[in-house]
Chain A
Amino acid sequence: MAEKKIGAKAQSFTGLSTQDKLKKVGDLLLNNAMYIIIILAVIYISIKVPAFLGLPSIVNVISLTAAKLPIALGIGGCIVLTGTDISAGRVVGLTACISASLLTTTFKVFPDMTSAPPIFVVLLLVLGTGAVVGLVNGFSVAKFKLHPFIVTLSTQLIVYGIILMYLKNGTNNGQTLSGLSDGYRALVTGTLFKIGNVAVPRYVLYAIILTVVMWIVWNKTTFGKNMFAVGSNEEAANVSGVNVSRTIILVFVLAGVMYAITGFLDSARIASANAATGFNYECDAIAACVIGGVSFVGGIGRISGIVVGVLLLQIIFAGLNFLSVDANMLYIIKGLIILIACAIDMRKYLVRK
């Protein structure tokens, strides 16, 4: 009855009865509940702590968004395939530890080494590591037809074990890796440009490049189109000649590469890496994707949505940080945000049915 969605929305709105109007407003409020909460929270926080709207704080939020963007761009592809990837955080941890152990001045993990290998070589090694984990994930999902939750749960544990053993190597004895080489740190955290006297780090530029690359991959390549086809209907994609297995494997490999980039940037950004690096990163990334409209229904999602999702999450958490809200409470808030985002996402498709 009220499904007059075609044509001029405003005109049809005025033509509706009061009850239908209320229904429409209710729909609007519920479907955008997450954005409304975040906007209200930002307003409240900026009144309470005006420094939240200051330049250093804004640059901080942008930098944090840039740091968390690659992993979300990777996981986004897995969600488009109606899957997910909970090994992401640990892959970030492993690649961060590998980068920190090689591009260092102390060489605790490899005591026999005297000079750091070229940064480019380490980057390739790290990307390879991420790709291998992605390959294992993708192969198991595509060929064993196991649910990605189960597959990536096992790789998550395996990768964590590898991190712990890797950190026991040499004279390190499981300690935090620090003392990173200047070249590596400068490459990632060096100043891109300055606004006033607040420096914008270089990894913001890398995040922008990655976003553009992923946008092209998702929207302009056959692989991207196949990914959406497989995500929305695997059987139909298969019938129309898409190599479903190869597409799934490639999506997970690409995701693994994105986690590796996150790890490579993260260890230089934090200036250290340990077994806890990357822990729970996948939760933030999955939450960001769902908030940004990458749906668990499959085959639906946009790069711009992921960027907005990551940004909104970082804004809200930076704000809560400004308010000195305890980290324990942040876990509960994160969990609720994921649940609400999923419920809202579900609602959109239920209403359409």
Chain B
Amino acid sequence: MEEERSPRPLRGLYDRVNISVGTLNIVIIVLVAALLVCFAYGIAHRGYTITFDSLGGTAVESRKQMYGELLEEPEAPVREGYVFDGWYRDQNTAYPWNQEEDVITESMTLYAGWKEL
């Protein structure tokens, strides 16, 4: 009785798997190749894009930088009636980017801080 109830080797989510080992081998090889291509593409295009939103000021071009680098500060944007007071991590300009200490760890957008003249 118990013997008959012994579980099949494929059960659970693999209950309905319908593929031969040979085909699965090819699938694995193709997927691994795809993964390696992704690695290669990612490494070839390495660098994090830093986008600058000047929030009404003159446009600032985005740039690519590597992990762990300090921000290469671009030329400050200009806006009529305001004076530029540095880059911020958030749109509400609550968290300033610390030019001396903060290093780049991801792609991000920095927002311009403006003070009224």
What CA separation (Å) do A325 and B67 show in the bound complex? 9
Q: Min CB distance, A300 to chain B, in Å? A: 9
Interface-facing stretch out of B26-34, B55-63, B78-86: B26-34
Please give, as numbers and ranges, the residues of chain B lying within 8 Å of A8 by CB-CB distance.
none
Q: B31 touching A336 by the CB < 8 A rule? A: yes
Choose from A330, A343, A352 the contact partner of B28 (Cβ within 8 Å). A343
Please give, as numbers and ranges, the residues of chain B lying within 8 Å of A351 by CB-CB distance.
21
Choose from B29, B43, B49, B65 the contact partner of A325 (Cβ within 8 Å). B43
Choose from B20, B35, B42, B65 the contact partner of A326 (Cβ within 8 Å). B42
Is B117 engaged at the interface, CB distance under 8 Å to the other chain?
Answer: no
Q: A236 touching B5 by the CB < 8 A rule? A: yes
Choose from A295, A323, A346 the contact partner of B24 (Cβ within 8 Å). A346
What CA separation (Å) do A254 and B81 show in the bound complex? 59
Q: B11 touching A297 by the CB < 8 A rule? A: yes
Q: Min CB distance, B87 to chain A, in Å? A: 18
Q: A333 touching B5 by the CB < 8 A rule? A: no
Q: B11 touching A298 by the CB < 8 A rule? A: yes
Q: A323 touching B28 by the CB < 8 A rule? A: no
Count the A-B residue pairs with Cβ separation under 8 angstroms: how many? 117
The interface of chain B, by Cβ under 8 A from chain A, is 5, 7-14, 17, 19-21, 24-25, 27-29, 31-32, 34-36, 38-39, 41-43, 45-49, 65-68, 105-107
What CA separation (Å) do A295 and B13 show in the bound complex? 9
With known contacts A37-B32, A332-B38, A340-B31, A324–B67 Cβ distance under 8 A: yes
What CA separation (Å) do A344 and B24 show in the bound complex? 8
User: Can you give 11 contacting A-B residue pairs, CB < 8 Å?
Assistant: A30-B25, A37-B32, A37-B36, A236-B7, A324-B47, A324-B48, A327-B107, A330-B42, A340-B28, A343-B24, A353-B9
Judged by DSSP, the binding face of A is helix
Q: B17 touching A350 by the CB < 8 A rule? A: yes
Interface string of A311-343 (1 = CB under 8 A from B): 000000000111111110110110011011001
Q: A347 touching B28 by the CB < 8 A rule? A: yes
Is A82 engaged at the interface, CB distance under 8 Å to the other chain?
Answer: yes
What number of A residues sit within 8 Å (CB to CB) of B? 43
- Using CB atoms, name the residue of chain A closest to B44: A325
- Using CB atoms, name the residue of chain B closest to A332: B38
Please give, as numbers and ranges, the residues of chain A lying within 8 Å of B8 by CB-CB distance.
353
Other A-B contacts than A296-B12, A323-B46, A343-B31, 15 sampled, CB-CB below 8 A, are A82-B12, A236-B7, A295-B12, A297-B9, A320-B39, A322-B67, A324-B47, A326-B47, A329-B38, A329-B41, A329-B45, A333-B38, A343-B28, A347-B24, A350-B10
Is A20 engaged at the interface, CB distance under 8 Å to the other chain?
Answer: no
Is A232 engaged at the interface, CB distance under 8 Å to the other chain?
Answer: yes
